[in-house]
Chain A
Amino acid sequence: MHTIRRILLFFAIVLAVPVSAQAEGLIADQSFGKANNEIVVTFAAAVDRAVVEDPANYLVYEEPDPDIKLELVTVVLSDDQKTATLTFAEPLNVRVGHVVSIDRLVESGGATTFKVVQPYLGYLLSILISALLINNFVFTKYLGLCVFFGTSKRKDTAKGMGLTFTMVIVVSAIMSWFFYQFILKPFDLNFLQIVIFIGLVSLTVQAVDTVLRKVNPALFNAFGVYLVLVIANFVIIAVPLILADNEYNFFESLMLSLGAGGGFLLALYLMSSVRERMELANIPQTFKGVPIAFIVAGQFALAFLGFSGLSLF
């Protein structure tokens, strides 16, 4: 009970951070808009349309580079004169904070300056959702297909494989992250990436195998057979490489590996449901077995294409 309360408190603080960082007074709320080149500002009271809708009154830059001004195209004020939508010429990099300052907004003449930051929890969740659905490793990146087709014949197998895989990938991705950040990068050993990452994966699989055999034999009997297959899965080696390429931090790495594992579980489960039904269907002899499975996977890939425009945060 105590732990749960502490976790809730942690989330509450994380969520509250962007709220407390707001400018006082006139600016009620600010956030990145729905489109990737928008910032939406809400004012506490009605403001002067002539001042707010003139792009020349604005100065916007990314927090790390105050010298580079971002090009503002239009500003549209809503009918109640309280919400302004700023549209930029190029997409914004929402991973960094943006500083916005508006001239002549208040009577005294000085500029009103505030910062737009994406809520961090939302950003982490967006990584998770992206790895789970939008960039699903099986259906949109085409990785891990051998194991995918091999273990998606029965729902039970699919669940077992998916869960084992998620467990192993989270452990191995976190270990790879530590190795990359604290050993490979400081000592300039980047060319050893492949050897180190695959070695870590083999070690994790071996360790999980040994521990599970001793600690929980029943669980081992259920999931042990899938452990060998984990290592032949592309996703498990692709995730550490992506983490290293994008310089993700610890929480981002955790979210990406969870998303990758969950995405694989989801794909396996969907596929196995279809394949169980397909056994009863009357399929032409030439398509029986693997060929029809490929066609079905292609249809799933088409369906997953529909997630590509999804943005929740």
Chain B
Amino acid sequence: MATDKTSFQLVVNGILNENPIFRLVLSMCPAVGISTTVMNGFMLGIAVLFVQVFSSCTIALFKNFIHPRIRIPTYTLTIATWVTVIDMVLAAYLPEAYAKMGIFVKLIVAFAIITMRLEMFASKESVNASFWDGIGMGLGFMFGMMALGFVRELLGLGTILGYDVLGFKPLLFFVLPFAGFFCVGLMMAFFNYIEIVYKRAKRA
């Protein structure tokens, strides 16, 4: 079975229709835990993009040699290998950003989104399609994290990427760790609201 979507459609699908954070409601832990600034979201997004693309390609390449009964452990070990790679690269080249993300880089190994994409997409499709799907999913995750980071940083600190934009701090509440829950909940409600308004406008 091969997908009939073009590479562009696959990427857009990952960012919009099946956005990992807001649509599939997967990998919520980093979305709540470390989305306090745009930069954090961007860094973790890069790491996830890397792991997703490389694991997807690896599985798509070897899909005919993997026995169906041991496929889940195989996926897990493949992801673990690529996570180890990105973990060591980040620790060596970007120690400051790595320290901020803490344990979350290592935890990419348990991201439901990556395993799910391997099971649902990469194990059936060609290497090329899996590559673009991986890019789409990674970018979708990055987009979600950065959107959350943008809202929290702007409302909490009045800055974007560390630059002072507003000149004052509207709601310090939003950078506090537990506010991640409220922020994600409110943003989801916001997207739901847009959808409802959009449907109503369509009907009228």
Contact = CB atoms under 8 A, between A and B. Distances in A.
Interface of A: 139-146, 149, 191-195, 198-199, 202, 206, 231-234, 236-238, 241-242, 284-288, 290-295, 297-298, 301-302, 305
A143 B27 contact: no
Contacts of B190: 286
B80 A195 contact: yes
B138 interface: no
B80 A199 contact: yes
B81 interface: yes
A199 B77 CA distance: 7
A240 B77 CA distance: 16
Interface in B168-197: 177-182, 184-186, 188-190, 192-193, 196
Minimum-distance CB pairs A-B, first 7: A294-B185, A298-B181, A301-B178, A142-B33, A145-B28, A291-B189, A291-B188
B29 interface: yes
B32 A145 contact: yes
Contacts of B72: 202, 231
B76 interface: yes
Contact of A305 (B28, B77, B106, B178): B178
10 contacts: A142-B29, A143-B107, A145-B29, A191-B88, A193-B106, A198-B109, A199-B77, A237-B109, A286-B193, A301-B178
Interface residues of B, number: 40
Contacts of B27: 146
A262 to B, nearest CB: 19
Contact of A198 (B33, B110, B181, B188): B110
Prevailing SS type, chain B contact patch? helix
A294 B181 contact: yes
Contacts of A145: 28-29, 32
A198 B103 contact: no
A137 to B, nearest CB: 10
Contacts, number: 116
Contacts of B165: none
A65 B32 CA distance: 42
B188 A294 contact: yes
A193 B81 CA distance: 10
Contacts of B106: 193-194, 237, 241
Nearest to A202: B73
B84 interface: yes
A232 B154 CA distance: 32
Nearest to A147: B112
B185 A198 contact: no
Contacts of A143: 29, 33, 107
Given A192-B84, A291-B192, A298-B178, 6 more contacts: A149-B28, A202-B73, A291-B186, A294-B182, A295-B185, A298-B179
